[in-house]
Amino acid sequence: MLRSRFPDHTVTIVPADTALRAGWALTSGDKGEKVRYRYRPQYFAEVWRPGEPPLTIPLACKGNHSDSATSAEQLASASAHAEAVHMGPWNETPGLLFSTQLPTDGGTMTVHALQAPGSGGRLSPAEVREPNLNAPPFQANAMPDIHPPTEGLVAPEPVRGCHVQAKDYAWFQESLAHTTAAGLMAFTGSGHATARHLTDRQGRKRFTGPEHAADMSIQDAAHTLFGNKYVGTDHVFRLLARGDVEEYRALVHASRHVRPRLTFDKNWGGPVSVHADGSVLALRLLPGQDKEPRPGSAR
* Per-residue buried b or exposed e for 72-83, using 16+ beta carbons within 10 Å of the residue's own CB: eebbeebeebbb
How far apart (Å, rounded) are the C-alpha atoms in residues 248 and 279?
A: 12
Evaluate whether residue 267 is within a structural domain: yes
Q: Please indicate whether residue 269 or residue 222 has the higher confidence score (pLDDT).
A: 269
Q: Kind and range of the H or E element at 239? A: helix 234-241
pLDDT in tens, 49-108: 999 999 999 999 999 999 999 999 999 999 999 999 999 999 999 999 999 999 888 889
pLDDT of the residue at 188: 78
Q: Please indicate whether residue 175 or residue 236 has the higher confidence score (pLDDT).
A: 175
Q: Please indicate whether residue 189 or residue 135 has the higher confidence score (pLDDT).
A: 135
pLDDT of the residue at 232: 60
Reply yes or no on whether the pLDDT at 181 is more than 80: yes
Among 42-56, 58-72, 208-222, 257-271, name the one with the lowest average pLDDT. Answer: 208-222
Residue 299's pLDDT band, with cuts at 50, 70 and 90, is very low
Evaluate whether residue 294 is within a structural domain: no
Among 186-190, 192-196, 236-240, name the one with the lowest average pLDDT. Answer: 236-240
C-beta of residue 197 within 8 angstroms of C-beta of residue 182: yes
**Domain coverage including residue 224:** 2-150+160-282
Backbone angles phi, psi at 236, to 5 degrees: -120, -20
pLDDT of the residue at 292: 63
Q: How far is CA 66 from CA 36, 73, 101, 179, in A?
A: 32, 11, 7, 35
Evaluate whether residue 155 is within a structural domain: no
C-beta of residue 54 within 8 angstroms of C-beta of residue 92: no
pLDDT of the residue at 107: 83
- At a CB cut-off of 8 Å and minimum separation 6, what does 200 contact? 31, 139
Cis peptide before 117 (omega within 30 of 0): no
C-beta of residue 194 within 8 angstroms of C-beta of residue 179: no
Residue 164's pLDDT band, with cuts at 50, 70 and 90, is very high
69 strand-pairing partners: none
Evaluate whether residue 291 is within a structural domain: no
Evaluate whether residue 292 is within a structural domain: no
Evaluate whether residue 107 is within a structural domain: yes
C-beta of residue 171 within 8 angstroms of C-beta of residue 23: yes
Evaluate whether residue 243 is within a structural domain: yes
Domain count, the chain: 1
Residue 216's pLDDT band, with cuts at 50, 70 and 90, is low
Evaluate whether residue 297 is within a structural domain: no
How far apart (Å, rounded) are the C-alpha atoms in residues 168 and 87?
A: 9
Q: Please indicate whether residue 192 or residue 173 has the higher confidence score (pLDDT).
A: 173
**CA within 13 Å, CB half, 30:** 24
Reply yes or no on whether the pLDDT at 144 is more than 80: yes
